[in-house]
Copies of this chain bind each other. A is one copy, B any other.
């Protein structure tokens, strides 16, 4: 794959008031590759995504997109660079229907007038491709959808557009078996089409199934970013729960000797 990352972050710091959530984070997403971003609950994954998409301003750090330094101050900026995001907290408008949500901010128009039939058709096709079979009507308000249906709408909304970078924050959390498979396949297909894809997930099977690289956050610090082929399942879990695994991750505590045994033990119960 290409050696130049599409998006590169350097030295990102982010605090909420007195709480520092991200510390000197570096991260890169490569075109044509799926980069899995993993980390414990509260590690800072979603915060990092929101910094990338311009929802939160960063306190310090650089963004380099397509080789040029950029500043992203709002989701509009991110969208205009070609960044699409599926947020963990889905951010759908409950008072709008499925079609309206999917095209929000980028409605198809005929002159001044909204082109509803076209949008409805496109929405139907996209949802069909995501194995959604239980939605009664595309004109249903999203407030009446089930958890998985909402998630699907959010995913469909992000993949409708021709973008360069797609970030999915736990996209399959609420999905059924078939739908999950479909989304993972979609993720792979997007990358194969040359897009950069960032996938956040707690499911190691999924991560190893589709990702090319794995980046691990531990308490707001990026402890490793490696090729998926160069790391094992157990090592990733160690990175997530202890912040280091053998050579990888944080430097060993001065007080403890550096053999990775203790942390490995500590997470034994965590691997299902």
CB of A146 within 8 A of chain B?
A: yes
CB distance from A34 to the nearest CB of B (A): 15
Complex interface: chain B residues within 8 A of A174 (CB): 41, 88, 170, 173, 202
Taking a contact as CB atoms under 8 Å apart, the answer to whether A16 and B209 are in contact is no
Q: In the docked arrangement, what's the CA distance between A46 and B89, Å? A: 18
B136, A19: Cβ atoms closer than 8 Å: yes
Least CB distance, A99 to chain B, in whole angstroms: 17
What is the minimal beta-carbon distance from A8 to any residue of chain B, in angstroms? 24
Chain A residues engaging chain B, CB cutoff 8 angstroms = 16, 19, 39-43, 45-47, 88-89, 132-136, 144-149, 152, 170, 173-182, 184-185, 202-206, 209, 219, 237, 240-241, 267, 269-272
For the complex, give the distance between the alpha carbons of A265 and B147 in Å: 26
| Docked CA distance A145–B78 (Å) | 24
Asked whether, in the complex, the Cβ of B177 is within 8 Å of the Cβ of A271, the reply is yes
Shortest C-beta distance, A122 to chain B (Å), equals 21
Least Cβ–Cβ distance between A123 and chain B, in angstroms: 16
Whether A267 lies near B177 (C-beta < 8 A) is yes
Q: Does the CB pair B209–A272 fall under 8 Å?
A: yes
Shortest Cβ distance from residue A73 to the other chain B in the assembled complex, whole angstroms: 22
Min CB distance, A41 to chain B, in Å?
3
A240 and B177 form a contact (CB under 8 A): yes
Q: Is the CB of A41 within 8 A of B173?
A: no
Is the beta-carbon distance between B241 and A177 smaller than 8 angstroms? yes
A241 in contact with B16 given A146-B42, A185-B269, A272-B206 (CB within 8 Å): no
